Amino acid sequence: GAGVSQTPSNKVTEKGKYVELRCDPISGHTALYWYRQSLGQGPEFLIYFQGTGAADDSGLPNDRFFAVRPEGSVSTLKIQRTERGDSAVYLCASSLSGRNTGELYFGEGSRLTVL
């Protein structure tokens, strides 16, 4: 069975460039999360979708970060004018409903390196 799929697995870009990271959740999962994880740290929440809408985007660090989920399945995290501090592993997770459940299914992450 397919788990959460994230592409690319690795992305190296230059400071100032635009990047897109894609997440393909488990089929039928309505809740989708983006987290960011720096080395030696726990995952840091960015944004949560319930269906097509962003139910909570309070974790997005600034307006360079944006995420969409137009059809309620695949999601894309977009980062404009990348900075070296954006370097991290970006994790996507999905769950059946999102409501008071910790059973999130994570992908293996997209490692972003900004030179």
Partner 1 sequence: GESVGLHLPTLSVQEGDNSIINCAYSNSASDYFIWYKQESGKGPQFIIDIRSNMDKRQGQRVTVLLNKTVKHLSLQIAATQPGDSAVYFCAEGGSYIPTFGRGTSLIVHP
**Footprint on this chain of partner 1 (rule: CB under 8 A):** 4, 31, 33, 35, 40-45, 48, 50, 55-56, 91, 93, 98-109
How many helices (H) and strands (E) the chain has is answered by 0, 11
Spatial separation of the C-alpha atoms in residues 89 and 22, rounded to whole Å: 13
Amino acid in position 27 = S
Q: Least distance in Å: CB of 38 to partner 1?
A: 11
Nearest approach in angstroms of CB 29 to partner 1 is 13
Q: Write down the least CB distance from residue 26 to partner 1, Å.
A: 12
> Is 15 or 54 the residue whose CB approaches partner 1 more closely?
54
CB of 44 to partner 1, least distance (A): 8
- Residue with Cβ nearer partner 1 (101 or 113): 101
For residues 38 and 83, which CB has a smaller minimum distance to partner 1 in the complex?
A: 38
Residues in CB range of 11: below 8 A, 6 or more apart: 19, 21, 110, 111, 112, 113
Q: Which of 106, 102, 75, 76 is nearest to 93 (CA)?
A: 106
